[in-house]
Amino acid sequence: MELPQQPSQVHLTARNLRGIAHPLRVQILTSLRTEGPATATTVARRLNLNTGATSYHLRQLAEYGFITEAPSRGGRRDRWWQASHANTVAPDSEALDGNEGLGIAYLQALGRVWSDALTAAIETTPSLTPEWRDAQDFGDYALTLTPAEAAELTAEIHALLRRRTSAAAAADAQAPQDAARVSFQFQLFPTSEDRHVTQPTDME
């Protein structure tokens, strides 16, 4: 049996972090990935942004390779944009340790976007159908893990989601009538009371 093709990924480096370490660019890239190609005007309407600012951020995303021009639709002269990759790999240690702090700035932007999405989901809960209220879930787990165990757990969750993503893509043409696009967020990190941090080396 042929295995499902893995989605394309972009790895963040000290250079391309310059193009994505901004909350609006994270939002725009997410919109293009989940809702498909769009013009600056369409993206601005989706995210309730100013068209001029949207155009600037789109150009920056394109300059650093996160998006590319898409074929124009219906003979229109508007410039259409599409995501270049299916997902983004978090900054590695080298990027996080960079002097300019762009790795942390990106993670902060990501956290802000995810937090806003969660808040919006909570606010719209009263308008959901009973079925979707039951399906929606907010929860967390407190575990005691070694770094190796934490990495293994994260890999297992990613593998499960990739299988679900591949199955959903294959069945997209005949999705059930009550199907809806959902967002699955998870974060794994040491908590403040037992966090292990790198200690500075004593200099003689």
pLDDT at 15: 86
Indicate if the pLDDT at residue 170 is higher than 60. no
Residue 7 makes CB contacts below 8 A (sequence gap 6+) with: 85, 86, 87, 162, 165
Q: Are 171 and 179 in contact (CB under 8 A)?
A: no
Quickly state the pLDDT bin for 117 (edges 50, 70, 90). very high
Indicate if the pLDDT at residue 38 is higher than 90. yes
Of 22-31, 32-41, 144-153, 175-184, where does mean pLDDT reach its minimum?
A: 175-184
For residue 53 the two structure tokens come to 């600012």
Residue 99 makes CB contacts below 8 A (sequence gap 6+) with: none
Distances in Å between the alpha carbon of 86 and those of 26, 136, 178?
A: 13, 24, 25
* Tens-digit pLDDT profile for residues 54-106: 999 999 999 999 999 998 776 667 889 999 998 898 888 877 877 678 999 99
pLDDT at 7: 57
Q: Are 36 and 73 in contact (CB under 8 A)?
A: no
CB atoms within 10 A of CB 144: 6
Q: What amino acid occupies position 27?
A: Q
